[in-house]
Amino acid sequence: MERQNDFQNDEIEIDLKDLLFEILIYWKWIVLATIITAGITFAVSKFVIIPQYESTSELYVLSKSTSITSLADIQTGSSLTNDYIVVVKGRPVLDQVIENLGINETYTSLGNKITLDNPSNSRVLKITVRDKDPQRAKVIADEIANVASAYIAAKMNQDPPTVIQNGYSDGGPVSPSIGKNTVIGALGGAFLAIAVIVISYLFNDTIIDADDVEKKLGMNVLGSLPLEESEDDGEKTKKELTKKSKKAGKRGRK
């Protein structure tokens, strides 16, 4: 029971109304933090982060020599598509692409630039390459499609997938999203400023008036005495005494 009472006494009582009022007092700081972080994220997204471009080539899994006569044939095509996803990003294909193009990439770095997608209810395999150079992204995507098609025909005893679409190099950058990053930065700055205000409010144990005594110490104030001006400001009283002594000295000289 004693531990429970001690725990209850150590709990921080939060007055939501006072907390909201405290936040409103420092609204200028919140706005300033929002503007600063938004400006920083905008500048970083605009001038620091290198824009990235994407280009996509497409393979059709079933060649024209394959006739679809039953549901089993369709399911077979879907299964082949899943197999081709593994093959396209495999080391033999990517190493051959690096050798053919003579690009300064490793198997891992090139693999990180590639995204494969198989739209539902289709036998189309999309090969998307992301790079800082749009023309380079297109060349790599097209070469991966060609190498993968030849590799599948040679190693998997299947008809080679047909390249039904080559990549494009005339698209705009896909990243960074300057507007999105700026909004996220602004929200982050506002949240950080509010968090600092809330933490300062919770850990502020300064007692200013009788209400603070009741809230923070849990004690009832029986009465209070008004402070005289001299007691309230010792520095002011000191100055007044100095002035009085100077006046008294002048009168003595007269």
What percent of the chain is modeled with pLDDT above 90?
51
Which pLDDT does position 146 carry in this prediction? 96
For 120-138, the pLDDT digits (tens) are 878 889 999 999 999 999 9
**Higher local confidence (pLDDT), 96 or 204:** 96
Q: Quick check: 8 pLDDT over 50?
A: no
Mean pLDDT (the chain, rounded): 80
- Residues 158-192: pLDDT tens digits? 788 889 999 998 889 999 999 999 999 999 999 99
State how beta strands 53-60 and 114-117 pair: unpaired
Pairwise pLDDT comparison (187 vs 253), residue with the higher score:
187
The string of pLDDT tens digits covering residues 54-97 is: 999 999 886 445 554 444 555 555 667 888 889 999 999 999 99
CATH topology of domain 53-165: Alpha-Beta Plaits (3.30.70)
What is the model's pLDDT at position 169? 87
Model-level pTM?
Answer: 0.67
Distance (Å, whole) CA 56 – CA 115: 9
pLDDT at 125: 93
**pLDDT of 207:** 61
Indicate if the alpha-carbon torsion angle 213, 214, 218, 223 is positive or negative: positive
Question: Which has the minimum average pLDDT: 107-111, 139-143, 200-204, 238-242?
Answer: 238-242
Q: Taking the C-alpha atoms of 210, 215, 218 and 223 in order, what is their torsion angle to the nearest 10 degrees? A: 10
pLDDT of residue 131: 97
81-95, 142-156, 212-226: least confident range: 212-226
- pLDDT tens for each residue of 20-55: 998 999 999 999 999 999 999 999 999 999 999 999
CA distances from 146 to 56, 66, 124, 126 (A): 13, 20, 15, 13
Q: What is the pLDDT of residue 5?
A: 47
Whether pLDDT at 113 is above 80: yes
CA distance 240 to 228: 14
Rounded-to-integer distance, Cα 210 and Cα 45, Å = 51
